[in-house]
Structure 1
């Protein structure tokens, strides 16, 4: 997945609120309650420190502020350290932080200083966006466990594993044919679900679609049904506006907050 830019985060706060409402409509869960159900954990007044990191390409504008909005929007206690990097970590620990949020060019993590749990954004993002689809109630299709996964990288792969654990039959596609063949071969003997390659030229249509790529127009019209649900952490959106409107597709997409919330619940204490 591509690194975020300040432009990606410009409307993040509105997008998080809108997606929280959409997830409620689709699943019956608010985003925080969904994460609590997924990880079987709960928040307990933890103090969350957000540490700006200058390594690599440096600090992304609006990134720390967007994290703080997410933390506070869901009723948690958080702060951004005045210092960066190691000095910021020292400030967080001596300031009584329970959980650290920090990111560089290679990893965005949550680390719980009290129980030593650690979570990686790519894994947690893939899982929560997949879990949203698993819990989506589309008319009478709750029992129809079929999904299309587009993009089999560091976010799409955890999503695939989540669908398989939930017993889904998964059609998969990746622009890298070698990666596609590797994933299909690795799951040839999977007993908890089925994995098969998706042919964009086929007439296979899906109520539920997961997309995790950094490219536009990756979701073909041929796979869409009326009122399909697309769960996509990918930026930009892989489905054109014209096709969204033509098929009435409901899209769960937000650049940062949903994945961050998933990370936090991954490191909270168990219920």
Structure 2
């Protein structure tokens, strides 16, 4: 975590905590103490992902909050969280990864928080997204959240998704909620070559190659696996933000602390 935090500072000028706070419009110095946080193992569906709860707890501990993993999963683990006076519970199954504040009733969704966190990192990394057109690759839950976050930072949006109905639905939703028009890209190669600020929210590996990138390209990549081809990593590494969980978890925490 220390190495990752230092990497973020080199690339964006800001720490993980500062980026997460920026994602929700919160001043980093305003962070309250939430009390104990439980990361609850869940066995429903395909069951517990090895080390997942401990990894999330480690990220939260790094952010300076008191965190524990209940010794049992599911309902028994939740009962333990309540007995230990947890204020917030993080939990994930096959379909959703959420965190709930037990006093306020607010629930943070990881997909939404991840989109916000990565756009905040991109805003810092590029020196500001205001009036820039950001290309959103993938119009799923993370891409949707990222698109709305770009608008909050004063940017404009172009969207590419292989499924034309999905990208058109996102454009319609954005217009109905904000009155903003979205440029819908139909060809991937021309789309990525015409944009320098990119959010890769696609669940596809290695489709962004050296030929797609320029010296002033910036990529925020919440997608898993990483969409940047291994041959292009040296070219873009100093202008690329990507991690498996950290930014999303940090933004979830700050959303809960701000409610």
Q: TM-score range with shorter-chain normalisation?
A: 0.7 to 0.9
- The residue number in structure 1 matching 2:72 is 83
Mapped partners of 2:72, 2:21: distance in 1: 31
Aligned-partner SS, 1:209: strand
Report matched runs for 1:23-172 at 5 Å: 23-39=8-24, 40=26, 42-138=31-127, 145-172=132-159
Q: Is the 8 A contact 1:224 1:247 kept in 2?
A: yes
SS at match of 2:227: coil
What are structure 2's unaligned runs of at least 5 residues? none
Distance 2:258 2:152 in 1: 23
From the superposition, tell whether residues 79 and 257 of structure 1 become closer, same or farther in structure 2 (CA, over 3 Å). same
- Tell me the equivalent position of 1:214: 203
Cα RMSD, aligned residues only: 2.3
TM-score (norm 1): 0.84
Higher helix share: 2
Of 160-169 and 77-86, the range deviating more from structure 2: 160-169
Which whole-Å CA distance do the structure 1 matches of 2:161 and 2:10 have between them? 30
Count residues with an aligned counterpart.
Answer: 253
User: What is the CA deviation profile of residues 37-95 of structure 1, one whole-angstrom value per residue up to 9, with x for unaligned ones?
Assistant: 33326231521111101000000001011012101111111111011101111100111
Farther-moved stretch of structure 1 (188-197 vs 119-128): 188-197
**Following TM superposition, by how much is the alpha carbon of 1:243 offset from its aligned partner in structure 2, in angstroms?**
2.0
Assess, with a 3 A threshold, how the Cα gap between structure 1 residues 117 and 126 changes in structure 2: closer, same or farther. Answer: same
* TM-score, normalised via structure 2 length: 0.88
Distance 2:176 2:47 in 1: 44
Q: Is the 8 A contact 2:41 2:72 kept in 1?
A: yes
Q: Do the aligned partners of 2:130 and 2:153 also contact (CA within 8 Å) in 1?
A: no
Q: 3-state DSSP class of the match of 1:206?
A: coil
SS in 1 for 2:118: helix
Residue aligned with 1:50, SS: strand
* Structure 1 residue ranges without an equivalent (≥5): 1-15
Indicate the larger mover: 176-185 or 46-55.
176-185
Q: Identify the residue that residue 228 of structure 2 maps to in structure 1.
A: 239
